[in-house]
């Protein structure tokens, strides 16, 4: 979905910015009108669909279409996208246990502590804030 005159990922960034400034769910047509610049409806729809598939956007029915919005915590968008990529990479391999073992072995001591807390149902975010 390369758009002439845009660097890779620029349209997705513009779409995320548009949704962030709107502060409410927007349909494809509304995003297209905001981002504009002669983009085809299908180009904007593809960008929104891909962001939704990556976990970066929420989608809800809006008549015969969908309205898209940022998750409750916009700061979590990057984490959701990275987690989705990690899951896809993990799913594409044959030796899931080997990949996970190697990943854990390569963690820094701080990341290992954080992962241990997460797996033990600890809330490292809450602990870091206290």
Radius of gyration of the chain (CA): 18
Mean pLDDT of the residues in the chain: 82
pLDDT of 129 > 50? The answer is no
* Non-local CB neighbours of 99 within 8 Å, separated by 6+ positions: 90, 93
Alpha-carbon torsion 125, 126, 127, 130, what sign? Answer: positive
Distance (Å, rounded) from C-alpha 45 to C-alpha 8?
17
pLDDT tens for residues 10-63? Answer: 888 889 888 888 889 999 999 999 987 789 999 999 999 999 988 889 999 999
The alpha carbon of 99 is separated from its chain's Cα centroid by a whole number of angstroms, namely 23
């Amino acid at each position: 979905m390369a758009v002439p005159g845009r660097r890779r990922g620029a349209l997705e960034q513009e779409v995320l910015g548009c949704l962030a400034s709107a502060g409410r769910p927007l349909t494809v047509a509304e995003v297209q009108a905001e981002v504009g610049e002669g983009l085809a409806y299908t180009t904007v729809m593809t960008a929104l669909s891909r962001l939704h598939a990556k976990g970066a956007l929420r989608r809800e029915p809006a008549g015969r279409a969908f309205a898209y919005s940022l998750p409750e915590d916009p700061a979590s968008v990057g984490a959701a996208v990275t987690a989705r990529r990690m899951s896809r990479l993990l799913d594409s391999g044959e030796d899931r246990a080997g990949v996970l073992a190697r990943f854990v072995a390569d963690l820094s001591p701080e990341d290992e502590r954080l992962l241990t807390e997460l797996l033990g149902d600890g809330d490292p975010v809450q602990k870091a804030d206290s």
